Each structure stands twice: as structure tokens, then as C-alpha cells.
Structure 1
Amino acid sequence: MEPKWLEWAKQLQSIAQAGLTYSKDVYDLERFELIREISVEMLSYQTGIDKKRIKDLFANETGYATPKVDIRAVIFQDNKLLMVRENTDGYWALPGGWADIGLTPNEVAVKEVKEETGFDVKAVKLLGVLDKKCHPHPPSLYHVYKMFIRCEIIGGEPMKGIETNAVAFFSEDELPSLSKARNTQSQIEWVFKSLNNPQEPVYLD
């Protein structure tokens, strides 16, 4: 789904990060630093974004490079899906966000729903783990695994959050404009399918 140059830049960054973490030879460290710089220059050239900003966002981590984890909560009420309108792009998404260190996936889902919608929920089922690159999202600097967790409302009331400005339920035939960086049309269709087929196995890319 993503352009080859982005795939190559991310692979180079991953190789460089691992090399800088585990290599002891001073000459190898110089080579891995050069590989990291090349990956940053590739992204800067292709996107027009300043190299320093890319390095701060894309090439600032240490340790073995691993995918980031995005948690999305899937909540139905009267066969309608709960969504929030994002401040950043004005489009709609399932409540959720990056996984937090120290919290389980279920705890992240519960926390994000409360912060973004005002509802108290309990997590009840993992619906799937998707690799973002396998789906029609816009290109991303990060390799991302997306976890979709079915939740049920147990309390609270709808209210906007710091990162969201509206909360609403939508039927499958009345969906709003989607925040495609967060969820795609095909993913929303899939979660509605899961509502009607509760015995469906967990989806894995």
C-alpha cells in the first residue's frame, strides 16, 4: 500500500537503529549513523519536510526498532457505531490512540474511550490485529500494528475530549467522512460485519 521509497527509508532506519544499539566497533557505528542519515535525507527529499523535524520524529529512538501499536475501540449501541471527530483533521474515527507504556491493550481502550467520548466502557473481545501497511491508509513514517477491541458501555455520558470535538453513533449506511490515517472504509465495514457475526475468529494480517 505504501510507496517503495517510504518502505526502504523505514527499513534503513530500522537497520541503523539496531546497529547503533548493538555495535561496539567505532567504524561500524559511523556506518550505521550514515545509514540513518541517508534514511532521513530520503524522507526529506520526497516530502519536502525539514531534515531536523524528520530526525526528531522518525530517527530519535534507541534500542531494537519495533512497530508502534495503535488501539481502537469498537462500540455499538442499537446497531450504530460510536465515533469521534478528530481536532487534527476534522474527520471521524473510532476512539483510540497510541498504546501507553504500563497499560494493557484493554486498559488503553478503556482510557481512550473515556478521554475522547465521556463513556465508561469495559473491553470484551479482541476483534483483530492489523498491519497498517496492508490497508489503504495514507503513508506513515512508522510501522504500525492496529488492535481493534470490542467494548461495551457501562456508564458515563457523551462529551468531547481534548483531542476530539464531537461524539456520535452512526449506522453502516450513514457513515461520516473518515479520518483515513486512523481507520479506513474497509475497516469500518469489517467491524460492522463482526457485529452481525459474533463467532468470527480474530482477524490477523
Structure 2
Amino acid sequence: MDAPLKWLNWAKQIQGIAQTGLAYTKDVYDKERYEQLRALSLEIMEQYTDVESSKLVELFAGESGYATPKVDIRGVVIQDGRVLLVREKGDGEWSLPGGWADLLLSPSEIAVKEIREESGFEAKVLRLLAVMDNQKHNPPAPYHVYKMFIHCEITGGRAQEGVETSGVRFFGENELPQLSRSRNTEEQVKLMFDLLKNPERVPVID
């Protein structure tokens, strides 16, 4: 691990210990200690990032229960050799349609929902392409995420911007725009092209 990123993993580990401890402890003094650990993890994150404190609490230390990675679902539509991407209003960069997994919805249902809401297209799910750990493949983030890439096929609808998107386009493998790398990297998108060119390949899990 690169030395400059050790602090990030330490902060996430401290946060995970605190969250799990708060979920199971019955002792009032232990609870106080775990709250102190959580506050320490936030202090570390505030010191080394430019993310505002309230956002850190929401994303990094606002959960309860046993600490587990978040789940991000990405719908992969490749049509006539071109991949469907949407421009994110948040950073002005492009990504595969997708977002956080919602309670009470399956991964397939989320992929279809995100494609509809972010691009205007109706779709059906074909197969799982990859499950990837953001710590290995994406820029450093204050939370640990498993990213699920699901192959989908358009069944209807039309290109239409959504609440969180300001553009909908198809791009060839060698003409990709500036990507929102926390959501998906160029390497990940090109891997999707390769997986669909070679359907005998099993899903990538890394």
C-alpha cells in the first residue's frame, strides 16, 4: 500500500471498529469509547480531505450495525459497439448509469431502475459481468464499496436526462469522454467491452 494512503485505511478501520462496537455493546462505558473512536476517525478524514464535516458524517460515519462495504450497481449497455454513458451533474463527468443499492430491491431491479432514471431508456438484465472492490480499482474514497457491473439490453424508451444527469450518449471504446473515476474508471469500462466481446469469460470478481 502506498504510504500516503495508509491514513485513509486506518481511518476506515477505526470507523468500522467503532460502528460494529456500537452495534453490539451493552456497556455504557464501552459505548462512550466507541463514540470517541468514531469521532477520531472523522477528525482524521477532516484533516486530510476537503470533504465538509456534515458530508463525512453522512457518508463515512452515519451508519449503524455491523460495518460492511456499500454496494454500487452499474448498468452496462453496449449497443452497436458503443457504450451508454450519462453525464453526472455532480462533477460534469461521465459514467455508466448506476448508483447505490436500494433496500428491498434486487441488483437486477436497481440496474434497470438506474438506467431508466438516468438515461430515459427501458432495459432488461442479461447477466452479471463483474464485482469489483473500489479499494483496488478506483481512486481513494472515505468508504469501502463493492461495485457490481450488470449487462443490460435496451427494450424501449428514449434518451432523456434525469434528475442527476445532464447528458446521455453512446461512446465507442476508443472515444471515451472524461469519466467520473469514483464511479467507473476507463480500465473498468474497457473491461466491460472485453467481457462482452468474449462471452465465454466468467464474471470478474476482484
- TM bucket (normalised to shorter chain) is over 0.9
- How is 1:3-152 mapped onto 2 (pairs within 5 angstroms)? 3-135=5-137, 137-152=138-153
Shift of 1:56: 3.6
User: Which string of whole-angstrom CA distances, capped at 9 and with x for unpartnered residues, describes residues 97-145 of structure 1?
Assistant: 111101000000000000111111000100010000001x222111100
Q: Which amino acid in the other structure matches residue 42 of structure 2?
A: V
User: Which string of whole-angstrom CA distances, capped at 9 and with x for unpartnered residues, describes residues 9-43 of structure 1?
Assistant: 01100100111111112221121111111111111
Q: Which amino acid in the other structure matches residue 134 of structure 1?
A: K
Runs of 4+ in structure 1 over 3 Å off? 48-53
Equivalent residues of 2:160, 2:168 under 8 A apart? yes
> Relative to structure 1, is the Cα distance of residues 154 and 17 closer, same or farther in structure 2, using a 3 angstrom cutoff?
same
Shift of 1:151: 0.2
Distance 2:78 2:53 in 1: 43
> Relative to structure 1, is the Cα distance of residues 106 and 53 closer, same or farther in structure 2, using a 3 angstrom cutoff?
closer
Q: SS in structure 2 opposite 1:179?
A: coil
> Relative to structure 1, is the Cα distance of residues 55 and 122 closer, same or farther in structure 2, using a 3 angstrom cutoff?
same
Match of 2:204 in 1: 203
Match of 2:191 in 1: 190
Distance 1:54 1:18 in 2: 18
Q: Which amino acid in the other structure matches residue 46 of structure 1?
A: Y
Distance 1:41 1:173 in 2: 42
The alignment status of 1:155 with 2:156, answered yes or no, reads yes
Shift of 1:54: 2.4
Distance 1:114 1:51 in 2: 33
Q: SS in structure 1 opposite 2:77?
A: strand
Task: Give identity over the alignment, percent.
Answer: 54
- Give the TM-score normalised by the residue count of structure 2: 0.94
Q: Which amino acid in the other structure matches residue 146 of structure 2?
A: Y
Distance 2:93 2:55 in 1: 25
Equivalent residues of 2:59, 2:143 under 8 A apart? no
Q: Which amino acid in the other structure matches residue 138 of structure 1?
A: P
Shift of 1:182: 0.7
> Relative to structure 1, is the Cα distance of residues 50 and 188 closer, same or farther in structure 2, using a 3 angstrom cutoff?
closer
Distance 1:191 1:56 in 2: 31
The alignment status of 1:177 with 2:200, answered yes or no, reads no
Distance 2:150 2:174 in 1: 22
Q: SS in structure 2 opposite 1:100?
A: coil
Task: Give the unaligned 5+ runs of structure 1.
Answer: none
Count of residue pairs the alignment pairs up: 204
Q: SS in structure 1 opposite 2:90?
A: coil
User: Which string of whole-angstrom CA distances, capped at 9 and with x for unpartnered residues, describes residues 70-114 of structure 1?
Assistant: 000110111111111111111110011111101000000000000
> Relative to structure 1, is the Cα distance of residues 24 and 95 closer, same or farther in structure 2, using a 3 angstrom cutoff?
same
- Give the TM-score normalised by the residue count of structure 1: 0.95
Distance 2:158 2:57 in 1: 41
More deviation, 165-174/56-65: 56-65
